[in-house]
Every structure is written in structure tokens, then in C-alpha cells.
Amino acid sequence: MENTSAHLNKVKEEEVIDFGAYLKVIGQYKWRIFAFAIMVTIVTALITLSMTPKYRATATLLLEAEQAQAVSIEEIYGLDSTRKEYLQTQYEILKSRRLAEKVIIRLNLAEEPEFLPKPKSLLVSTINSIKAMLPIEQEVVEVDIEEQRARARSRMISHVLGNLSIEPIRNTQLVKITYEAESPALAATVANTLGDEFIKSHLEDKLALTVKASDWIRERLTGLRTGLRASEVQLQAFREQKGLVDIEGVVALASVELNEITSQLTKARQARSQAATVMRVLKADESRDLNKLETLPQISKHRLIQEAKRAVGQAEQRVAELSKRYGQKHNKMKAAQAQLTEAKASLQRQIELLVKGIEQEVEKTTQNEQALVAELADAKARYQQLSKTEAEYRELVREVDGNRRLYDTFLTRLKETGAVGDFSAAHARFSDVAEMPLQAAKPKKKIIVVAAFILASVLATLMAFAINALSDHIVTPEDVEQHLAQRIVGLIPKMKANRKGEFSTHSFFDKNAQVFAEAWRTLRTGLVLSHLDSPAKVLAVTSTIPNEGKTTTAINTAFALAQVEKVLLIDADIRKPSICKRFNIANYQPGLTNLLTGTHKLDQCIYHDPQSGLDILVAGSPIPNPLELLATEGFDKLITSLRQQYDRIVIDTPPASVVSDAIVVARHADSSLYVVRAEQVRRKVILESIGRLQQLKVRIDGVVLNCISERSNLTIYDYSYGSAYSDELLGNENKPVKREA
């Protein structure tokens, strides 16, 4: 559980963003970032100032969705203004090359300075000159005058369209026409002219379509008139041929006649059928019994028989009524019986007459039926002939009517197109005309310059982060601790050279180099405090490669120690000695090599610096094998002897990665200072040199980070307080200490 908690804490620590590190990088490169931003800003400002200002003018058009029409002939124009695509179509027409060409011709833009060919820039001229000098065969393409004019016209149209902007206003029928030009007057003129040409072009197209439609309708109307007349002549000839006055009345009469004959034939057939039935019954009953005949439906239902039966019934009813009052011999009774007898006799006579007339009726109805059948056949033939004639007639009438309707339609359209030929209702109008702008629309010089400064600053900052991330050099104390695993014992600021470009050896005592001197005092304090238990009398100073400030570190460390102790400075860099030159000591001054070879004694080789009170043992006479000389027992004895005479010995050794002299000398020292010049040597080389020293058990007290830039130095330590104590420091510590030799 504890391991899991520790792991989570470690992950949280890794996820924390160290903003301080980023700020430190920015602080380290701030002057370079600022310089880059200022440089880019100045270049941008110069380019912006050289740019030709552009002026922008805007006109607003109102597009009519429902156009005024003198008459309804929308089909001729083929454009439905009520559809949603209508407005989008108008926007595209406003951006068309045809409309732009009309504006160019109307305003004669070819003579405007903005549209004249620009002289070739110096860069283009130089490139063309170089191409001409190259031994390459140039392909020459001949272009005729018409082609040149077409290309020039195309370039002007593209130029106009490139500076033109059509912007519809959302949820309205308004559209903005914006044009940019170098001249404010030209910008307003082009915007207004484009809108005017748009309206004018629509009216011209509308008129052209009207004229074209009129011509076509007139041509078609001539043919339709000829066809109508021919169909009317053919109809009239058909009427005369058939003798028709009113074909509908004749057909109606024929139809009524046919229906009447059919009805009569039906009745005749019913009568014949009834008569034939009675005839068959009579032929079947040879007895001719009247009482039996009376019961036949064909006889009993006859009107005369029914009337005779009714008279018999009335007479019988009267006899029955009178018999209740009178006797048989009463006169009224006798009269009633006589009436009854007469009624029965009449019924009998009617039946006999009816039976006799049935045969005649059968023959008559048969003849009548045959006549009606023949008449019906004739009526049908006449009706069919009339129907055929009517169909032909109606076909001719339909052709005449169709030709007349088509002719009337085209005639109406011809009159409509003629009526609207001079109708000038525009489909758009200006809501606002473009006015000459007073200020340039672009370039926005202030915004561009500010944006350039901001973007350049951001870019430079990102580049600083990238350089810092990719850098393989030691720059800050954190780099020493993180990448070299060594502690910092001194941070030495970069010194400024004098007017001659030289550095003073005794800058430690200069009143104007208080920060520099204080850095060495801080290094001295660190050395003394780190060796309280076992004082390190012999201190070796080395570096990775030459020119890292190794000798300067040895000299100034000796200066700082000499303020409180008796110090000897030894130049052990026999291959390339430099202390003689630094202190203006003569080249023939005997030194270390003279002592080790036994040509001189110690007191002859020691040089005393009066300003610092420092004793110096220079390298001495040059020898061919300095490493063998330093590795002898004599060098060890010399160091042992000097330990008895001085409180502190500072040895300047050669670079550790160049020769092995530094390793041999450092083995005789109690501790070593490793000098690293900021932003110069790669970490890998430094680590290899330090590793070689540590493998030979050379003690390294720490790293002296030399030549720290002023900006980095201020972020690490603030020595501004030094001026407050400068008098005390310079009055006491900077005075050389007089010691016995």
C-alpha cells in the first residue's frame, strides 16, 4: 500500500508543470526575443509603409422578389422569382465575368493607373537577366494582337473580380456590392456602376427575350392562321355536302323516332301474343261453351266483357232487392227480371263477338308487327348513318375549335409581348449608393505592426524553448546539478573588455567590477567552509578544453585567498603557459621546470605580485616532455616542501580532455576545481573528462560556472547591494596583505 502511495505521489510530481523553468528560459533569452521581435516589427513596418493603400466602397441593392408585370407572361423569361434559388442566382450574376467586362468598357478602366501594367520588380528583372545569361534555349511563343488583347482583357476582368465582394445580408433581400481600389473615387464609381449595369443588363436581357418571343410567336401565328382557315373551309364543305343545318337536332329526332317505333313494336308484339294465346285456347275448345269462355283471362279482362258483367251484376242486385218487397208477378219485379235477362243476353253477344274478332285481331296484330319491324330497321339504318355523319362533323368541329383556341392563345401572347416591350420595371434598385471612402480600408498598419510584434515575440519564445530543449551545453547551475551531478562552488559573471578589447588581470581590485570580485569572494568562502575539518592546502584548477577560463579562475581564486592567507600560484600548464603574459612577467623568468630540472633555486623562481601580495611560480623554460617531468618524484617533493611555506597553493593545470598533465598534477592536490564555461562545451565531453578524473580518485570540490551572461547572472544572484559596501570592501579586503617571503 505504501509503495502504491509513493508511486502515485511520484506520478503527481512528474505531472506538475514547472512554470518557473519556462519563465527562467524566457528570462534567459528575453533580450534576444525582444531584439528579434523589434527587428521583425521594423521590417513589417517598412513593408507596410511601402504598401499601396486600398480604399473600400460599398453599395447596397434591393432585389425585388416579386417583379412588377404589365401582363402575366413570366413563362417567356423562364425565371421564377418566387423560388429560393432566385436570390442566389442574382448573387452569381453580380459576380459574373460578363458583368465585370461591361463595367470595364463603360468606365474605360484600361486607362486607369491601377490597371496599367506594373513595371517589373528588381527581383524579377534580376531573375530574367540570369535566365538570359544561362546557356539554355528559351522557347519563344509568338502571340498575335488579338490574343494579347484577349489576355489583357481577361487579366482586367480577373483584377476587377478579385477586388469585388458580393455579400448578401442574411434574412433580407439586400445585397452589398463592395469594391476595393487604390483610388477612393474609383472604388465608389465601380461599385455603383456594377449595380447600375446589373439592373440595366436585366432590362436589356428582358427586352431581348421579349423581341425574340414576339418574332417566334408571330412566325407561329402565320402558320396557325392558315391551318385554322383550312379547317373551317373543310367543315363548311362537309356541311354543304351532307346538307346539314343542325346536326344535333336531326340526330335527336332520329333518336326519338327510333325510340317511338321500338315502343310501338313492343306493344304490337304484346297484342299479337295475347290474341294468339286466345286463338290457341279457342281452337283447343271446340264446344265453344260461353260460360267456359267467360272464365278465360283473355276474355274476362276485355273492357266490353267487364262492362257487360258489371251490367249483369247490377241487374241481379236490383232483382234481389225487389224480391224482398214484391212478389214474382209484381210489375217492378217483372221489369227487373226483364232487365236482368237483357244484360245476360248482351254479355253473351259480346262474348260471341269477341270470339269472332279474335281471329281478325291475330291477323291484324301480326301484320302490324311486321310493318313495325321493317320500319324499325329503316330507322336504325338512318340513325347509324346520321351518327357516322355526326362523328365526322364533330371531328371537323373539334379541329376547327382547337386551331381557333391555339390561334387565339398565340394572338393574345403576341399582343402581351408587344404591350410589355417598352415596360421598364427593374428587378432591383439601389438602397444605398456607394460614397467615396475617406480612409483606407487596408492595410491596417497599426494592427499589422502590433500583430507582427506579438507573433514575432511568440515565435522567438517558441524558438527559445526549442533551443533550450535541444541545447547540449551547460548554461545554468541547475544544468550542472542535473546533468553533471556536481555541486556549484562558484558562479562567475562575464567580464566586459576594455576599449582595446583586452581584459585586466587585476579586475578583482577594480572598483567598477564589484560583482566580479564578489563572485570570487563567494567562491573563496565556499572553499574554506567545505574544508573546515581537513583544510585543502593544494588546490588544482582544470577544465575540459582550452579557453574556458581555467587560468582566470586560478588567478582570481588565488587573489581571493591571498586577502586572508599566504598563497602561491603555480602555472603547471607547461605546454601552453599564460600566467607570465597575464602578469607581464618576462619570458626568461625561471619557474616550475627550472626547479624540477635543478637549474634554479626556489627563491630565484618565485615572483611576487605587489598589487595583490600573491606569490607566483611560472611554468619556466619550455621542455619537450612536460608529462614525464610532472610525474617524477621531484614534483611530489616540491609540493610537499611548498605546503610548509604557504597556507594555500593554487595550481593552474592543462585541460583534462586534451592531455594527461592535469590528471598527474591533480593527484598531488588535496582538491580540484573544474571550470566550465557556460554555453560552450557539450555535456558529453565534460562528463567524460570528469569521469576520467574520478576514476583516478581525483577529488573534485565542484564546478565553477564561468562567463555567465549578465541576464543569467541577475536571475541567479543579485549583487546590487555591493555598492552599498563597496568602500568597506575596497578599503579593507582589496588591500594587499604584507607577508614575509
Mean pLDDT calculated for residue range 626-649: 88
Report the DSSP pairing between strands 55-63 and 428-432: antiparallel
Q: Rounded to whole angstroms, how far apart are CA atoms 318 and 340?
A: 9
Q: What does the pLDDT read at residue 454?
A: 92
Q: What does the pLDDT read at residue 568?
A: 93
Q: What is the pLDDT of residues 70-107, one digit of tens each?
A: 444 444 444 444 566 788 888 888 888 888 888 888 88
Helix 331-419 × helix 303-323 angle, to 10° = 140
Reply yes or no on whether the pLDDT at 332 is more than 60.
yes
Q: What does the pLDDT read at residue 722?
A: 40
Q: What does the pLDDT read at residue 292?
A: 59
Q: What is the pLDDT of residues 567-596, one digit of tens each?
A: 999 998 888 898 988 899 988 889 988 888
DSSP 8-class letter at 54: B
Q: What is the DSSP string of 535-583?
A: ---EEEEEESSSSSSHHHHHHHHHHHHHTTS-EEEEE---SS--HHHHT
Give me the residues paired with residue 488 across strands.
Answer: 703
Report the DSSP pairing between strands 614-617 and 567-571: parallel
More confident residue, 208 or 739: 208
Q: Rounded to whole angstroms, how far apart are CA atoms 543 and 643?
A: 24
Report the DSSP pairing between strands 538-543 and 671-677: parallel
**Model confidence at 718, in pLDDT bands (50, 70, 90)?**
very low
**Model confidence at 198, in pLDDT bands (50, 70, 90)?**
confident
Asked if residue 644 lies in contact with residue 606, where contact means CB atoms within 8 angstroms, the answer is: no
Q: Rounded to whole angstroms, how far apart are CA atoms 511 and 491?
A: 19
Q: What is the DSSP string of 4-34?
A: HHHHHHHHHHHHS--HHHHHHHHHHTHHHHH
Edge-to-edge strand list for the sheet holding 567-571: 488-493, 700-708, 671-677, 538-543, 648-652, 567-571, 614-617, 606-609
For residue 513, the one-letter residue type is A
Range with the poorest average pLDDT among 52-56, 76-80, 127-131, 667-671 = 76-80
> Which of the residue ranges 3-12, 303-312, 355-364, 674-683 has the most confident prediction, judged by mean pLDDT?
674-683
Q: What is the pLDDT of residues 123-158, one digit of tens each?
A: 566 776 776 666 665 555 566 788 888 888 888 888
Mean pLDDT of the chain: 77
Q: Distance of CA 23 to CAs 18, 29, 73, 715, Å?
A: 9, 10, 77, 11
Interior angle at CA 389, CA 385 and CA 394, nearest 5: 145
Q: What does the pLDDT read at residue 455?
A: 93
**Model confidence at 290, in pLDDT bands (50, 70, 90)?**
low
Reply yes or no on whether the pLDDT at 339 is more than 60.
yes
Helix 331-419 × helix 247-284 angle, to 10° = 150
Q: Rounded to whole angstroms, how far apart are CA atoms 734 and 510?
A: 9
Q: Rounded to whole angstroms, how far apart are CA atoms 511 and 517?
A: 9
Helix residue ranges per DSSP H, 471-549: 477-479, 514-530
Query: Which uninterrupted H or E stretch holds 703?
Result: strand 700-708
Q: Rounded to whole angstroms, how far apart are CA atoms 14 and 27?
A: 24
Reply yes or no on whether the pLDDT at 651 is more than 60.
yes
Reply yes or no on whether the pLDDT at 296 is more than 70.
no
Mean pLDDT calculated for residue range 621-647: 88
Q: What is the dihedral of CA 131, 134, 137, 140, to 10 degrees?
A: 20
Q: What does the pLDDT read at residue 726?
A: 38
Report the DSSP pairing between strands 488-493 and 700-708: parallel
Q: What is the pLDDT of residues 369-385, one digit of tens each?
A: 777 788 778 777 777 77
Question: 174 phi and psi, to 5 degrees?
Answer: -95, 145
**Model confidence at 698, in pLDDT bands (50, 70, 90)?**
confident
- Extract the runs of DSSP E, i.e. beta strands, from 151-193: 164-168, 174-181
**Model confidence at 108, in pLDDT bands (50, 70, 90)?**
confident
**Model confidence at 715, in pLDDT bands (50, 70, 90)?**
very low
**Model confidence at 118, in pLDDT bands (50, 70, 90)?**
low
Range with the poorest average pLDDT among 303-312, 641-650, 663-672 = 303-312
Q: What does the pLDDT read at residue 502?
A: 58
